Amino acid sequence: MSRPQEPHRPFFHFANPFRKNSHKGSQFNPKLRSLLNDFETALSKKLQKLVPNDKGDILSLSWMKLAMESLSEIHCDIKNLITELDLPVTEWDEKWMDVYLDISVKLLDISIAFTSELTRLNQGHLLLQYGLHKLESDSPELFSRASSSLNSWKQHIGSKNPRVETCRPILDNLVESLNLPKVKNSSKGKVLMRAMYGAKVATTYICSVFAAALSGSSKNLLDLTVPNTLPWAQVFSDVQNTVNVEIRNIFSCGKFTVVRELDAADACVKELSTLLQDGVGTSERESFKNSVSDLRKTEEKLSQGLDNLLKVIDGFFKVVLMGRDALLCNLRKAGGAVPDSVIGKNV
C-alpha cells in the first residue's frame, strides 16, 4: 500500500487576499469583528487539537477520525457564520457562490474517494476473520487455509484503488481555489470570504493528509503557506510542520502501509505466517497462541477504527451536502439563477 518516498512537493504560496485590511479587523464594525474573531479563535483551537501528545498517534485511525471531526465542525461553523451575518443569497456576489459551490462539489468527490478506500480496506476484515477462525480452532490441518487467508488479506490491502488515484487532481483544484475573489463594498462579504479562506486552508491540508495515507503516496501531502497576518496562521504552520515531519518519517521507513492499525495488523500477520511456514511444534505452541491472540486484538481495533472513521467521513459528506443544498434552495426561493459554472455539477 505504501510506495517509495517521493521528493517533497514545493510549498504553495498564495497572494494575501487580506493584505490591505489585515490589521486587527479594523475595517469591521464591532459585531462583525466579534463574529470573525470567534470563528478564527475556534479554528485555531480545532487545528491545535491535531498535534497529539504522542506523535505516534499521527496517522492512527483515531487521529484521522479526530481530524475529520474537526473538519465537520469547521464547516458547521461556516454555516452558522453565514446565518449570523444575516447575508441573504440575493446579496451574494456570483463569484462568492462560485467559490462555495465549486469547493463543495470537490469535497463531495474526495469524500467519496476516501469512503471507497476505507470500505475496501474494511472488506479485507473478512479475510482476517476467516484466518483467525481457523487458527483459533487449534486444528493443524486447518492452518494451511488460515495461511492462505492471511496471504489473501495482505494482497487485498496492498492492491490499488483507482478511486484514490483521483485525489491528486482534486487536491490541485482545491489548492487553486485558495486564491479567493476580491470583495468590494461589502463588510459582511469580506468577513465571509476571510472565514472561508481559513476553512478552505484547513480542509485542503487535512484532505491531503488523508490522500497521502490512503494512497500510500507521499506526493499527495501538501505544504501550504498562509499570510502571517492571520491570527490562526502560526498555529496552522506549527501543526502542518509537526504532522508533515512525522508522516514523512513514516513513509521513509518503507512500511507496507502508513496507517498505524494496518501496520500493526501486518506485523502480526507476518509473525504468524513465519510460525506457520516453519511449523508449529510443541515448543512453539505458547508463542503461537500469543501471536494469534495479538492478531485478534489488533483485528478488532482495526475493524472498529475503520467503522468509526467511515461514519465520521459520512458525517462530513452530509454536512457539505446540506450546506450546498441549502444555498441552492435559498437561491431558487429568492428567484435567483444558479451560476453557470455550477450547472451540471449539482449532486
297-347 pLDDT, tens digit each:
999 999 999 999 999 999 999 999 998 888 888 777 766 555 554 544 554
pLDDT value at residue 340 = 52
Residue with cell 459551490: 101
Q: Rounded CA gap, 333 and 331, in Å? A: 5
Q: Are 191 and 35 in contact (CB under 8 A)?
A: yes
Cα–Cα distance measured from residue 319 to residue 78, given in angstroms and rounded to the nearest whole number: 11
Q: Which pLDDT score, from 0 to 100, does residue 23 have?
A: 42
Q: How much is the pLDDT for 95?
A: 78
- Is residue 73 helix, strand or coil? helix
First to last CA, the chain: 31
b/e map 28-42, b = 16+ CB within 10 Å = beeebbebbeebbeb
- 112 CB-contact burial (10 Å; exposed 0-12 / middle 13-18 / buried 19+): middle
Residue holding cell 490491502?
157
* Burial (Cβ within 10 Å: 0-12, 13-18, ≥19) of residue 290: exposed
Q: What is the model's pLDDT at position 150? A: 93
- The per-residue pLDDT of the chain, averaged, comes to 86
Cell of 85: 451575518
From the list 253, 201, 241, the residue with the least C-alpha distance to 46 is 201
Is pTM beyond 0.95 here? no
Give the residues of the chain that fall short of pLDDT 70. 1-26, 180-181, 334-347
The per-residue pLDDT for 235 is 97
- Closest C-alpha among 154, 151, 131 to residue 142: 131
Q: Which residue shows C-alpha cell 465537520?
A: 72
Those residues with Cβ within 8 angstroms of residue 236's Cβ, 6 or more apart along the chain or in another chain: 47, 201, 202, 205, 224, 226
Strand, coil or helix: 12: strand
Q: What is the dihedral of CA 17, 66, 115, 261, to 10 degrees?
A: 130
Give CA–CA dist 204/107, Å, rounded.
9
Spatial separation of the C-alpha atoms in residues 217 and 289, rounded to whole Å:
35
Contact indicator for 16, 22 with CB cutoff of 8 Å:
yes
> CB of 168 within 8 A of CB of 211?
yes
* Rounded Cα gap, residues 160 and 1, in angstroms: 7
DSSP alpha helix (H) spans, the chain: 30-48, 61-85, 94-123, 125-136, 143-158, 162-165, 167-176, 187-215, 233-252, 260-278, 285-333
* CA angle 262–307–221, rounded 5-degree value: 55
| Residue 291: predicted pLDDT | 92
